[in-house]
Amino acid sequence: MKLPTGKSALARCCATAVLALSAASALTVAEAAADDRVRAGNWAGYVVQGDFHRVSATWVHPTITCTNPGVVQRLVPWVGLNGTQDASGAMALPLMQTGVESLCVSEAAIYAAQPGLRLGAAAADLTFTNPVLSDVLMGASSRVNNALGGAADGLCATGALPALCATEWGTDAWWEAYPQPPYFYDDVTTDPGDTMRSTVEFDGARYTMTLENRTKNWTRATTVESTAPARTAEIVVEGQLDSALPGFSPITFTDIEIDGKSLSAYETEAIGIPATNRVLIPGPVRGASFTIG
């Protein structure tokens, strides 16, 4: 996913982390997911391990409320194949994913985010060649991001720099083959309340990522050649590492299918985001659906 670098608050720059992070070993949850242990990371939702060819889900894009002006705040519902550990414990890559990003940014947040973004970009570059160092850099990226973002947010709270702390909000439809940078569909728009459908398919030689806006009646599809097998499937909401999340209306993923079966047909792993301003965890799987928020 992308974040801004320039002085325009909605300009785009380098990619940030998309792999699930171990910000903590697990989150203890009273009543949320299917069990009371939720792996902590920068995703909230469900992961399934196996040998897959297709995953898809539908959701209504949420209304966003920007809450922390000194912090880059992202909320990104998406569907994908690969991107976390497979059944053997190895990282399944590349991560093929598509969805819609909502982004809240101010110039203060952009400046505060730059050091962490650079560490995250370096981690992405090392994903295949040195995964251990990549994990170390990603953890450092999260810590630096939260420290500088918290400082900028505190400064914004004083009201001393209203121009730098003015927040802008926007949405973008996108696809990504992580660790490569994301690509945005600049010729289409998505608004809160739009019904979205995301599908990622693998035929043994290529991945096809299809994103539909059923409200605005547009579809965009991208194909990437790869013989890397699909060992995990994800239906998640992503944050900006584990920094502050924006406010948002609940997201219910429906019509979830993995190789023609509903999500409840699989053994799932719940993932949650221990954000600096809230903990975000998925609700229980109910057939082919679950709710976050």
Q: Is residue 161 part of a domain?
A: no
**Which tops the pLDDT comparison, 242 or 105?**
105
Q: Please report whether residue 92 resides in a domain.
A: yes
Would 137 be classed as within a structural domain?
no
Give the sign of the dihedral formed by CA 57, CA 177, CA 105, CA 242: positive
* Residue 120 within a domain: no
pLDDT digits (tens, 9 = 90+) for 56-87: 999 999 999 999 999 999 999 999 999 998 99
Range of the domain at 38: 27-104+169-292
Residues 6+ apart with CB under 8 A from 88: none
148 belongs to a structural domain: no
- How many domains does the chain fold into? 1
Asked whether 286 and 264 are in contact (CB, 8 A), the reply is yes
* Three-class DSSP category at 140: helix
Q: Domain for residue 53, yes or no?
A: yes
pLDDT digits (tens, 9 = 90+) for 148-183: 999 999 999 999 889 999 999 999 999 999 999 999
- Domain CATH number, residue 241: 2.60.120.700
Tokens, residue 205? 């030689």
Structure confidence by residue, pLDDT tens digits, 225-266: 999 999 999 999 999 988 999 999 999 999 999 999 999 999
What's at 168, amino acid-wise?
E
pTM for the predicted model, two decimal places: 0.90
Q: Is the pLDDT confidence value at 99 over 80?
A: yes
Structure tokens, 194: 């739009």
3-state DSSP assignment of residue 117 = helix
Q: What pLDDT, on the 0 to 100 scale, is given for residue 113?
A: 93
Query: Which ranges constitute the DSSP H helices of the chain?
Result: 107-125, 131-157
Number of other residues whose CB lies within 10 A of the CB of residue 201? 19
Q: What is the DSSP string of 218-285?
A: EEEEEEEE----EEEEEEEEE-STTSPPPEE--EEEEEEEETTEEGGGS-EEEEEEE-SS-EE-B---
Q: Is 30 exposed, middle or buried (CB count within 10 Å of its CB: 0-12, 13-18, 19+)?
A: exposed
Instruction: Please give the Cα distance from 146 to 140 (Å, whole number).
Output: 10
In a domain, 122, yes or no: no
Per-residue confidence band for 25, with pLDDT thresholds at 50, 70 and 90: low
pLDDT at 92 over 90: yes
Among 6-20, 27-41, 114-128, which stretch is predicted with the lowest mean pLDDT? 6-20
Residue 219 neighbours by CB under 8 Å, 6+ apart: 210, 211, 212, 213
